[in-house]
Amino acid sequence: MRAWLLGLLVCIAVAPVLQAQVAVDASPLEFRDPAEERRFHRLVSELRCVMCQNQSLADSNAQIAHDLRREVLHLMRRDLDDAAVKAHLVARYGEFVLYRPRVQPATWLLWFGPLLLLGAGGLVIWRLAGARRGGRPLPPDDSQEW
């Protein structure tokens, strides 16, 4: 019985390791010059992996991130500027692909929501402080002896 339980525990412990896949880029990207490499790295750090949670294309090891990095380099070599590359990816994958979405009516809450919450919190604190100031003074608490 102990051997069976030990075997079960070993299987449970080893199963995630056996299922893990390491994404290895079969064909590493080759750049023409250091300027192209700098531009590429700057661009992929501003783009989000469409599969991963909050990882840039530069940080992600997902297979789709490898494919998107190759696509970004291909678009760069077609003489598209950074805005055109981003526009192409947004048209294909939506605004989610951008780490800094554009300011437009659909993203106003994303951009200005934190300021609205901060302002509402400040207003609540101001009103509470005003109510305390304008109200009757609290009677002294004689129950404590100092």
* Domain assignments of the chain as residue spans, ordered by start: 27-100, 105-131
Tens digit of each residue's pLDDT (9 = 90 or more) over 73-129 = 999 999 899 999 999 999 998 888 887 777 777 777 777 888 899 999 999 998 888
CATH topology of domain 27-100: Helicase, Ruva Protein; domain 3 (1.10.8)
Answer positive or negative: Cα dihedral of 32, 34, 40, 28. positive
Under a CB-based contact definition with an 8 Å cutoff, are residues 95 and 82 in contact?
A: no
> Within 13 Å of residue 39, how many CA atoms lie on the same side as its CB?
18
pLDDT at 143 > cutoff 60: yes
Output the pLDDT for position 43: 92
The pTM is what? 0.57
